[in-house]
Amino acid sequence: MTLELDSAAEPSPPEATNGVWLSCIGCEETYSPFDDILYTCPDCNSLLEVRYDSLPTFDDFSGSGVWRYTDMLPLEEGVSIQEGDTPLYHVPDLEDELSVSSLHVKHEGMNGTGSFKDRGMTVGVGVAQRLGVDRLAVASTGNTSAALAAYGARGNMETLVLLPAGKVAAGKVAQASLHGARILEVDGNFDVCLDIVQELAARGEVYLLNSLNPFRLEGQKTIGLEILEEHYERHGSYPDRIILPVGNAGNTSALYKAFREMVQPGALDPADVPALTGVQAAGAAPIVEAVENNWDGIERWNDVETIATAIRIGNPVNAPKALPGIRETGGTAVSVTDEEITAAQRDLAGEGIGVEPASAASIAGLRKLRSSGVVSNDEEVVCLTTGHLLKDPEAAAKAGGDPEPVPGDTDGVLNHINN
């Protein structure tokens, strides 16, 4: 893939930034990061991203987990509960069945709270402490709320989570609850929850830690960096393609940023940047619609539905960052049905890897793109699985076999299993 990188067009930093600053992806205005609380550009309302005066190469990284990559994070340390350093599993059966050169699964469900959200929160909650705010809030389909609750608890800060009533998997609500978040069940979908929490943040009532917050995406970049390093160590090559489930498109944006920031200092050849390939559920697929129609932006879907409740999202706020990422890395986006998601969840379980439905979308997407020939058989592929099976026990139990009642004696059990 060729990645266009016009360094002449790089915005210049504001003064006195200590090497870290914010830049608007629309008008390129720059801001210092910790003076004011900013989520979007005060001038044009576009998304902001974190920028650095100088960027490291692979040789500069040391240690493990998210903070291994501190040279490309906005803080030296955050509120940490040992996040990142998740396994990259080889999946030989799926690799055979889908007939690709190699297939690995980066299982983000192995983070402490069971999803990739920990990577963003260790940075985001750290920034919140640095800014001196006291009440943290998110809208969430579940995982963000669990991670915010845990990291907020660790940082001794008050947390508020807005969840779409009746549409959040049980494990996630239980986590948010036990870690001490105040849970507000909103009569509306995730996008409505996000509208409200953005308004609360604009009124100065809460500090927003959704992926609209540019600092959170800095932590999530480390997924891409770990994949590059681990894949290279094992295969002497970088993956041709990374396939990931898409909701708000935060990870898509974060991985694209990670790759650009490795290309810029010459640590990564633009030709080696993996093709970012997003997968959405058919019932919530505005990014896929925008990619298929070659639109510059997305159109909000007001009615969304899918078994993959984590990605039941109709207004992906990071689309302006993610769409260029998909296009410029030579990737694509595809939608999959709930049945295809469940089948993929079973297949991963059959290789010993337990994921929640949204995560299985990456494998379901690969299967679809292999049958249509978009992904070719010589590709080295990494699928991202974003959340643990136990997040959504109900979906797992439905996808699995039913328990069988047996009598309470050995002969009765033997008789049952042999018939």
Q: Are 308 and 341 in contact (CB under 8 A)?
A: yes
Least distance in angstroms from the C-beta of 141 to ligand F0G: 4
Q: Which of residues 53-82 bind ligand F0G (CB under 6 A)?
A: none
Least distance in angstroms from the C-beta of 118 to ligand F0G: 11
Sheet holding 30-31, edge to edge: 30-31, 20-24, 48-52
Sign of the CA dihedral running 195, 200, 206, 212: positive
Among 56, 3, 19, 52, smallest CA distance to 229 is for 56
Q: Does 247 bind ligand F0G (CB under 6 A)?
A: yes
Q: Does 141 bind ligand F0G (CB under 6 A)?
A: yes
Q: Does 171 bind ligand F0G (CB under 6 A)?
A: no
Q: Which is nearer to ligand F0G, 103 or 395 (CB)?
A: 395
Residue with tokens 């309302």: 45
Q: Which stretch binds ligand F0G (CB under 6 A): 201-209, 255-263, 334-342, 353-361?
A: 353-361
Q: Does 310 bind ligand F0G (CB under 6 A)?
A: yes
Task: Tell me the pairing of strands 88-90 and 102-107.
Answer: antiparallel
Q: Which stretch binds ligand F0G (CB under 6 A): 26-34, 175-183, 197-205, 242-250?
A: 242-250
Residue with tokens 């809208």: 139
Q: Which is nearer to ligand F0G, 70 or 175 (CB)?
A: 175
Q: Which is nearer to ligand F0G, 13 or 124 (CB)?
A: 124
DSSP per position, 178-242: HTTPEEEEESS-HHHHHHHHHHHHHTTSSEE-STTSHHHHHHHHHHHHHHHHHHHHHHSS--SEE
Q: Does 143 bind ligand F0G (CB under 6 A)?
A: yes
Q: 276-312 in b/e burial notation, b at 16+ Cβ within 10 A? A: bbbbbbbbbbbbbebbeeeeeebeebeebebbbbbbb
Burial class (CB in 10 A: 0-12, 13-18, 19+), 250: buried
The structure tokens listed for 125 are 């909650």
Residue from 70, 140, 213, 329 binding ligand F0G (CB under 6 A): 140
Q: Does 358 bind ligand F0G (CB under 6 A)?
A: yes
Q: Residue 272 has what DSSP assignment?
A: G
Q: Residue 273 has what DSSP assignment?
A: P
The structure tokens listed for 308 are 């993959």
Q: Does 314 bind ligand F0G (CB under 6 A)?
A: no
Residue from 169, 212, 311, 399 binding ligand F0G (CB under 6 A): 311
Least distance in angstroms from the C-beta of 253 to ligand F0G: 8
Q: Which of residues 4-43 bind ligand F0G (CB under 6 A)?
A: none
Residue from 334, 387, 389, 399 binding ligand F0G (CB under 6 A): 387
Q: Does 86 bind ligand F0G (CB under 6 A)?
A: no
What CA dihedral angle connects 158, 36, 191 and 47, to 10 degrees? -150
Alpha helices in 80-180 (DSSP H): 92-98, 117-131, 143-154, 170-178
Burial class (CB in 10 A: 0-12, 13-18, 19+), 349: middle
Q: Which is nearer to ligand F0G, 17 or 144 (CB)?
A: 144
Least distance in angstroms from the C-beta of 334 to ligand F0G: 14
Least distance in angstroms from the C-beta of 139 to ligand F0G: 7
What CA dihedral angle connects 338, 342, 348 and 353, to 10 degrees? 100
Q: Are 219 and 249 in contact (CB under 8 A)?
A: no
Binding mask 177-216 for ligand F0G (x = CB under 6 A): ----------------------------------x-----
Q: Which is nearer to ligand F0G, 30 or 40 (CB)?
A: 40
Q: Which is nearer to ligand F0G, 127 or 389 (CB)?
A: 389
Number of residues near ligand F0G (by CB under 6 A): 21
Binding mask 255-284 for ligand F0G (x = CB under 6 A): ------------------------------
CA distance 117 to 112: 10
Residue from 80, 144, 222, 306 binding ligand F0G (CB under 6 A): 144
Among 16, 33, 9, 310, smallest CA distance to 147 is for 310
Least distance in angstroms from the C-beta of 16 to ligand F0G: 32
3-state secondary structure of 121: helix
Q: Does 251 bind ligand F0G (CB under 6 A)?
A: yes
Least distance in angstroms from the C-beta of 14 to ligand F0G: 28
Residue from 33, 74, 245, 365 binding ligand F0G (CB under 6 A): 245
Residues that bind ligand F0G (CB under 6 A): 115, 140-144, 211, 245-251, 310-311, 356, 358-359, 386-387
